[in-house]
Every structure is written in structure tokens, then in C-alpha cells.
Homo-oligomer: A and B are copies of this chain.
């Protein structure tokens, strides 16, 4: 058992690779980032315990460097059946278009206990949580086997609540971020702060934990800005989506390289998430209910069929607001360049403002 847990300030590069559920996060991507001195992550959300176990084994074949695993904290089953039925009906055209039936909307806990047991055994360097803070007992058990624990927050009150369960650090996620909002609740108007504002509010609220800044960071200067605003490291997801090591689909890669904008939508999963605006998002974002993971089950077969056909207009193209800056580069090289560019930006700016 390691006697000391991973410290963010011990990373050679202040770069955390964001866990990206649904395909983009691969053992190869995490290994490349960790080998380059950053912290790679596997995404356990919506992935079976067996697949997660295989991912961890594969990653350990690739590197001895520390890495992390992200878990989704399961929520209560409080979806409105009437709203779900209405949304299912609204998707009838999509069923015809994709030639498959929608899935059955239901609740699940994403294999919470099984994945926790697996992680207690796997003893990875870091475990991060999204959609809420785990119980303090879970944090303690993970820390006892040597894992540093991170909790994702999007509001100051979430940071206070997260602090109470005793994590090693917080991931502070601004509204610019791609993929799901890591918010504790899916309520409109909550968890929609810009990264810079959220960082300063959390620091000024007296939260003394190390902070990982996430959301819209895609180059070294933005990494440097996040560090200047009080973060110990920056978490980047979208910036890695076009690397060779990422499992990003061809349709997704094409959308990332084209002009476009992003929007927050519940259309794909029933929970607010940011992706490149496509036909499915435009047509369904207005009426998709807050019902996670019910809606994810509902759209699952439709998205799978669309993905198989390479139909970028009907799959979730998760991406952060800074996606135009994502480049086709080797992930390790990108990690090192982000760190070097951040140091250069800081040195140049500090010199420029020195009286």
C-alpha cells in the first residue's frame, strides 16, 4: 500500500486529462498523458465493471505511471414518467430515421458498488467523482488503499459540501466544459458559472483544497490563466479529442475540425451536457426532460445506430466551447507542450506587468 497519496503539485506537468465517457477515453490516451508527466484518466461512467477492469489492466500494461479513474455518483430515481413518455413519443421520427426502436427508459446506479469494490482492489493513484460527492466512508476507504480522491463541483455550495467528505482535491468545472455538467443536481440555472468566476468564488470562500480547473481550457496560455486564478492543475478533455490515442469516432473528429458552436442539452441523456450543436440537439433540446440516466437508455439504441452509420447529426458530439483549438497531435507531445506553453505565458506576463 502506498504510504503517500498522489499530490497534484508533484505532477511534472500541471495537466490532468479529463475522463471522457462514451468512447474517447482509452487506456492508450491515459498512458500517453501520464507518461508525459500529466495525469491520465479512465472514464468508468456508463461502462460495465468488466470493461473497466479490462481498461485498468490494459493501461497498466502500457505504463507504470500514476493514473486516475472517474466514477459517476448515482442519483435518486426522481424522473417524471409523463415527461419521459412525452419525450419518447417525440423521438418517434428518430426511430424511423435510424431504423431501430428507442430503448426503455429506466433508472440504474451505473454499477456503483461493483465499481467501487473493483477500485478498492485496483488501488489506482486517483479516483474522481462526478454528479455529487460520495459518502465520506467511501472517500476514506479509497484513501486507505492509497487513492487520492477528487470531487467535481460547479457551485460554491457544492464545494462546501464536497469539502465535508474529506477529498484530496476538487475538480472545479466551469460552464465552458464539454460533456456532462458535473453538478450535484440538474436544476436549470445552477452549475452554469464561467470557470474563472467559479475558481475565484471557491478560493475566496475559503476552500483550502487543491483545485483542478476544468472547462474551456485548450492551450498553454489558458492553463497558465487557470493556475494564476488559483488552480493547482488544469483538466483538459476536448483538447485531447483529436489525438491519435483518443477513441473519438470519425464523425466526432470531423465535427471537431469543422466550424460550429456548442450548446447545453438534455436531449441525449436527460442531464445537461455540452456538445457541438447538430440536428438532434437542435430538434430535441427544447423538450428533453431532466431524467438521467433514463433518457440515456431511451436514446442509446438510436445513437448506436446513428454512430454505426456515421451519422454525426444524431449522436452526442460532446465538446467544450474551446473545441476549435483542439489539434491533431500525439497526446504525450500535447501534454508536454501545454506545460511548456503555460510556463512561457506565465513568465512573459509576469515580466510584462512588473513595474
Contact = CB atoms under 8 A, between A and B. Distances in A.
Contact of A225 (B176, B225, B347, B353): B225
B197 A176 contact: yes
A215 B217 CA distance: 17
Sorted nearest first, the 6 A-B pairs with minimum C-beta distance are A350-B350, A176-B194, A197-B216, A225-B229, A194-B194, A225-B225
Given A200-B218, A204-B219, 4 more contacts: A189-B277, A193-B216, A221-B229, A225-B226
Nearest to A345: B228
Interface string A134-160: 000000000000000000000010000
A193 B277 CA distance: 14
B228 A221 contact: yes
Contacts of A226: 196, 225
Interface string A5-39: 00000000010000000000000000000000000
B322 A197 contact: yes
A175 interface: yes
A36 to B, nearest CB: 15
Contacts of A277: 189
B219 A194 contact: no
A226 B196 CA distance: 9
**Interface-centre pick from A196, A324, A350, A353 (highest chain B CB count, 10 A):** A196
B215 A194 contact: yes
A174 B194 contact: yes
6 contacts: A194-B195, A194-B321, A197-B320, A200-B221, A222-B229, A228-B349
Given A201-B325, A227-B349, A194 B216 contact: yes
B227 A353 contact: yes
Nearest to A188: B263
Given A346-B228, A354-B347, A222 B200 contact: yes
Interface string A236-248: 0000000000000
Given A350-B347, A350-B350, A193 B176 contact: yes
Contacts of A229: 221-222, 224-225
A353 B346 contact: yes
A261 interface: yes
Interface in A300-355: 320-322, 324-325, 342-343, 345-347, 349-350, 352-355
Nearest to A216: B197
A201 B353 contact: no
A259 to B, nearest CB: 10
A230 interface: yes
A287 interface: no
A234 to B, nearest CB: 11
Contacts of A197: 176, 216, 218, 222, 320-322
Contact of A350 (B221, B325, B346): B346
A104 B271 CA distance: 41
A30 B32 CA distance: 52
A190 interface: yes
Nearest to A342: B353
A278 to B, nearest CB: 13
A203 interface: yes
